[in-house]
Each structure stands twice: as structure tokens, then as C-alpha cells.
Structure 1
Amino acid sequence: MSTVRGPGFLAPTVMAVVSCLLVAGCSADGGTSSFDGDGRLQVVTTVAPITSIVAGIAGDRAEIIGLVPEGTNSHTFDPPPSAAVVLSEADLVFINGLKLEEPTKDLAEANMADGATLVEVGTQVLPESEYIYDFSFPREEGKPNPHLWTDPTWAIRYAAVVRDALSDADPDGEDVYQRNYEAFDAQATELSDALRADQESVPADSRELLTYHDAYAYFAETYGWEVIGAIQPESFEDPTPREVAALIDQVRAEDVSVIFGSEVFPSAVLEEIGRATSARYEDTLRDDDLPGEPGDPEHSWTGLMRYNYVTMINGLGGEASLLAALDTTPAVRDDATYPQ
């Protein structure tokens, strides 16, 4: 199970990669620097699902470095000063936006070179009129739920923004980016179709999610699920005893059979609620931590979402056979750097 790391923490291996790549002039495997004037775009990304989507569109025309280590709380991640060097070398920086990565955005804006472009993908695709404020993201805090990528229909729109930004920066690659976008669109659509078919094995009134981290609001809106609660409050700390008592009452009233936790956010609170209500605690949902290791077929945005949908459908007593049969191997080889 991954460990939550607090603000300002960057795993030693990540710091070594950043230092090696951009200060000492070597690559992650000890070879020569990837920033060697080979003509490829230099691209920096934040969370792993966005890194995967960008890699799927860019292919081998870009060198891509993710900044946020997998298994880290992206909401509280504070990039170290050494990340400024990475950002200063970038032609393009892709972040989710929607106020998810404000410290990284600030660092990027302070250090990016003239002519480089910062792309807030989620902010571009989601009209303000469609912002969702909810359990972990109350309106009074001013930060909408940023988790668009858990919904394939929004992920396809992410890919279109990435395609256009890459094409603007590298017009010679426009045809490549379009082909790669079409391949991503086809794979995401196949995932969406399998999800719609498999979720029919769960009665409509049972497609309810009580989660720890509130990452499925847009998904629920698109696919007809209901998010009945999220345990983690806007402070990203555990809820108070009074809030826990209210959630126990809600679980009993709603007759919730499964509580879905997160492998990034281990929670004794969810275990307590499960014991008090006899609801089963499933603690393995992944919000932005891709399955497997970099280079594995399932280590991709498609693999991440397939895993979560199978976990949810099976957990609620359904059968996710079409999803389980999907090939999650990226259509385009992914050589991005994913901090671990």
C-alpha cells in the first residue's frame, strides 16, 4: 500500500532523477542527458494520468518528465526548489488546473523560459458553469472538484487539448499528434463502451459510491452513478467523530454494501465505519497512481481506469467481464519519466 507523503516531500529517487537529468547532465539510467538538443519537445507534466495521456499523444516527438510522484497526495504536493530547473527547460508544461496544483503552477510561471507554454488542461475543457463542488471540495473554499480524468469522455477532451498544444509548439508533428489522438480516442471510447455494458450487471439503484477521496463526481454524472459521500473533508485530514457518526448513520440509512477506500489514502476511519455498519471495506481504488510499474501494459491511464471500474463493479456484486478483457497497453509507446 502506498504511503501518503506530506507537502514538500519528494522521494529521494525522484530528487536523484531531477538532479541527474537536469543538473548533472545524465539520464535516469546513467547515460547522457535527455536534454541534448535532439530536436524533441521538452515537456513537463504533473500527475501520472496526465503524464500518460500526454505521452499517448506526443509519442517519440517529446521528452516527457512527470513531477508528482505516484502514490503522493497531489492536492498537497509542493514541488522542491530543484523542480524549478526542470520547468525552466520545458517547452510545454501540462497541469490539470482547476486549482489542483497551485504550488507547481506558481513555480512554473516563475521559471519557464520566454516562449514556453503552460497548459491547464482541465481548466480549458471544463466550463465554470459545470464545476462540481461537493464533499471534499465545498464551494466556499473556491476549489472545484478537479478529477475529470476519471471520466473517459473528459479524458478524450484532455487528449484533444494536448494534441492542439503539441501541434502549436511543433507544427511538423501535427499529423503524428492527430493520429495518436485518434488512437487514444478509440481506446478510451472502447473503455467507455465496456463500462456502460458491464455496469448494467449492477442494479441502477445500487450504483452508489461512498469513497474516501472524492474523485468520481464527473464520472458519476456522466455514467449515472451516485456519489453519496466522501469521507475526506476539504482539509484532507480525517473527519471529526461527529462527522464519522453522521456517516455511519448515512451508510445504514442508504443500506450501503461496500465502502470504497483509496490505496493512496489509507483510512482507519473507513475501517471503523465498515465495522460499525457491516459494510465491506474495499481499500484499493487508485485516484492517480497507475497500476504496475512504468513500462508495464497496465501502467497507463486506460489501465488505471479499467482497474477502478472493475473494482467498483465487482465490489457491488456485478460482473466486469468486458472491462477485464480489454487490452490496456498504450497504443503509442510510453517512455515518459514517472517518479516513483
Structure 2
Amino acid sequence: MEYKGNETSAENTSFLPNVNMIKCTFRDKNKYTVYSVVYGMVFAIGLVTNTAALYIFCRLAKKKRVSTAFLMNLAIADLIFILTLPFRIFSYQTETSWPFLDVACRVSTYLFYMSMYCSIFFLASLGVCRYLVMAGRVKFQNELLYRWALALCFAVWIFIAAGVIIYASFSNGFRIEAGKCFEPAEPSSWELLYYMNFYALVIGFVIPFVILLICYALMIKHIAQTKTQKRRRDVAMICLVLTVFCICFLPYHVQRTLHLYYVVYHHDNCELLITLQKTVVATLCFAVANSCMDPLLFVFVGQGFLPMLKTLLRSCCLGFSNGTPISTSAATDNPENVITVATTEI
């Protein structure tokens, strides 16, 4: 199932490919507590922020901006994974089996990968469109561009879903154990994960990341030539997106690739495997935290998002006090209330 590292101990021996038996005196039960705490925080913060963001983007959709199309789908991708976190927390806190364990484990795993790689593709697509607009290749008010953005978002969902279905078909024989919902139990499972990792690594991360870096490099060059202080928000957006990639996605993919490689081909080095196993917890938690970092992008990139958010918060505060919330339509219907957040409106 989902890559999370294999726990090995003197009492619980892990069988690795091409070997009879490897015993590693490492039994990390604290990782389940760490996962539960981090996932609980991500669920609480991510559910509120992404739900509010999705509501705001639905209100802004009538403006037909390209950024709204990509960011709305990004919020949906985050929410899909966030809604699976309660089950993950439950699975970490119990070692008893229940009827729907196998199905729930698989669905939660598939949704994790779908959410992560859709987020990567949406961020890369947004970067490409922002560069095209900044370079004057397309007009930001072009309704055709907005339709292309919607079509691209739909294509991303189909493409990622197809990849997840392929992964699901290959991993259908994975054995699931109580207390190890997201960890492969069979030796062949690790070898299969190793080869499937390269498909996800290259197609799902490396290519979009390289495209994003190229677009941002060209954007920075263009910003340097304009010498306009208003471009600072574009620079802030670039720094924030790269921070998300470097903190949430890059460490996870590097660690996953190295760990699977050593598990399959250097399984006799128990000390190294234990070290890599410990790094799984950190990189996976950072990858999950992406759902909480994406809302920061909405503030910098989403045109009209910030004033709508302020109105929504004001409405909620007054609603709790007197039961008469303010309508958020004023933020979008009245042009005077709209504060320009991004200098390039897409």
C-alpha cells in the first residue's frame, strides 16, 4: 500500500526481497503518536482553511479568472485528502481489525497520492499560465484562456486518476494487517513499490517541478527588467510556491526513493535502514502539511481572495455575536471593495 517505511524488530521480523530473514532491532511505536498529532492538526487547520477557500473561490468563479480555476481545484484536492485523515488517526490508535479495514486503507492511500500529485500539477500549471500572462503571450482577460484552464484541470484529474487506478490494480494483492494499515506486509510489495516509485517520481514530480523552475526563472528575469515595486507580490508568490515544493514535496520524494532503493538492494545494512526509517516520519508529515500551506498561496495568488476572506471573517464574527451574518456578496459585487492582491490578474 502506501509507502511509509517498514518497521522491523527482534520480535517482528520483516522479510525483504531476495533474502531469507533480516532482523533489525528497531521498534518505533512513537511514530504512530507523531502521525496522529500531526494529522489531527492538519485536519483541523486544513479543513477550516480549505473549506473557506473553496467557498470563496465558488463566489469568485463568475469572474472567470485562470488563477481561480487552478486554485479552486487545488483546494478540492486538499480537501479530498483531509477528509481521510480521521480514518488514518483511528487506524494508528487501534490494533484491532474491523470489517472495512482493507477497503478503507486502500481508498485512503489512493486519495493521498491523487491529492498530492494533483496539487503538484495544479501549481505547475498555474506557474506556466502566470508566466505566459506576464510575458504578454496571452491576455489575462481572455475568456478562452479560462476555458482552457478548466479543461486542463479536468485533464489533470483524469490523468492522475488513471495513474492511481493503475497503481491500485498492481497493488490489489498487497496484504493488509491490523495496526499496519498503510505499510506493505509482503516482500514482493516492496519491490513493486520501488519500480512504481520511478513512474510517480519522474512523471508526477520531476517534470512538473522542472517546468515550474523554468517558468519562475523567466518570470524573475522579466520582473528584474520591469523594476516595478508592485512586482514584489509576484516575487513573494514565487518564493512561497518554491517553499512548498522544497519543504513538502522534494524531501518526501527523495527520501522515498532512497529508502525503497536500500530496502530492495541493500537490505543487509540494518543500521542504514533504521536511519532511513526514522526520516520517513518527518518527510511524510511535511508532505501532509502541504494541505495547510496551500491556503497561504490563495492570499498571494487569488485575485479578490483577500477582501472576500476579510468579509467572510467579519460575517462569521458578527454572526456569532448577534445571529445576523453579513452577506459576502458585497466583496465581489462592489468594485470599490476589491483590493488588488496580484499585479497580474489571471
The answer to which structure has the higher strand fraction is 1
TM-score normalized by structure 2?
0.28
Give the structure with the larger helix fraction.
2
TM-score under structure 1 length normalisation: 0.29
Which protein shows a greater Rg? 2
